[in-house]
Amino acid sequence: MTTKVSNTFFTDHENQALLRRLSQELQISADRSIEPEGLSDHLGQILDLILANPEKFDEFCSVNIEWIGRSFVREVGSYLEASTDNRAKIVRTIFVSAYRFLCELEFTQPGEPSFEVRRVLNFVHENLERFEGTDRQQLVYAAYSMPAQIVRRLISSPGLINIREFSQTVERSRELKEEWDEDFKQRIELIEGLKGTIGKLASEYNFVGLVHGFQALKVGKERERVFSFRSVLAIAACMLMLPAAQLYFVVTNLERIDAHKATLVYSLPTILALEVILLYFFRVVLGQFRSVKAQLLQVDLRISLCQFIESYSEYVSRLRKNDSSALTKFESLVFSGLVAGEADIPSTLDGAEQIASLIRSLRGS
């Protein structure tokens, strides 16, 4: 006879057929002489519960299916093949095995047991003394010791081990999350610090660029100052050379001065005109030299003021909340154009008018 033990033990069609035949045989025979009285009826109730809920018994009776599933099917088959005289003892054995399935179901399934289950449990409790030998031991074991064995087996099952490992994993994950949160917080603080540093560097870079611009302007103005200074010296030398040359000529030719008197008289206006022209250009170049010096002073002042432009920008942002016109003069000083001082430099027309006046006065004389 075929006996199957698997995850679909009670839902297996062959096993269900055996249990259905047993239930029918118990109803037909209705043997009331089997002790204790009512055992056949209560076994029939267990079989009806199994046949009505095979999936539930497969789910919640896995331990006893593994332990006594094959022997239970063999006992049912033995009963169906046995003679009437030998069935009484086999029925008690089948009842004990079925009772174990019922006890496991009552122990493992959630919720309260049904009326039928409580009725069978009460029957065994009230008639326990009327069972003998191995049957009685099995009933006591099913009611008291078997739940502990089931719990022990469940605790050592791979599924529960995985659950414990999962719990440990969850705890470790929580610790890792805390570590990651702390690391993330530190990284945020580092990024904020880098952000401030980068902003400061950008501001310093802008400041350096501004200073470099002023320094480049200063280099150009310095060259212009040197050129103007050399031009002033050259014009001054020319202005001194003309009268010095005439004076040298007079001194060296003092004995023959009468012979050169006409030459000196006619050359004097030319020398005076050149002196006037050189004087004009001397004034122009000297004014340009002074203007360049003033511009260099302003550039140096701006370079000095740029040293605290960062603090100034922060300060003025707070100060202008109360007074929008604050530090206006300061900004006009730093960011205004350079003053050339051209008002003091004589124009070309002014020089031409002075030369014309001089010539007119000479002619009049």
Same domain, 40 and 120: yes
- pLDDT of amino acid 33: 66
- Tokens describing residue 291: 């203007």
Residue 2 lies in a domain: no
State the CB neighbour count (10 A cutoff) for residue 160.
12
* DSSP code, position 346: P
Do 140 and 222 share a structural domain? no
Closest CA to 103 of 61, 163, 165, 152: 61
Walking along the chain (365 residues) 10 residues at a time, the average pLDDT comes out as 61 94 84 78 92 93 92 92 83 93 90 86 91 90 89 73 67 82 85 72 58 78 86 88 79 68 72 83 85 81 68 64 60 60 46 53 54
Q: Is the pTM of this model over 0.85?
A: no
User: CA–CA separation, 75 vs 86, rounded Å?
Assistant: 12
pLDDT of residue 201: 57
Residues 88 and 26 in one domain: yes
Same domain, 221 and 351: yes
Q: Which domain holds residue 268?
A: 207-364
Count of structural domains, the chain:
2
Residue 181 lies in a domain: no
Q: Does residue 226 sit in the same domain as residue 145?
A: no
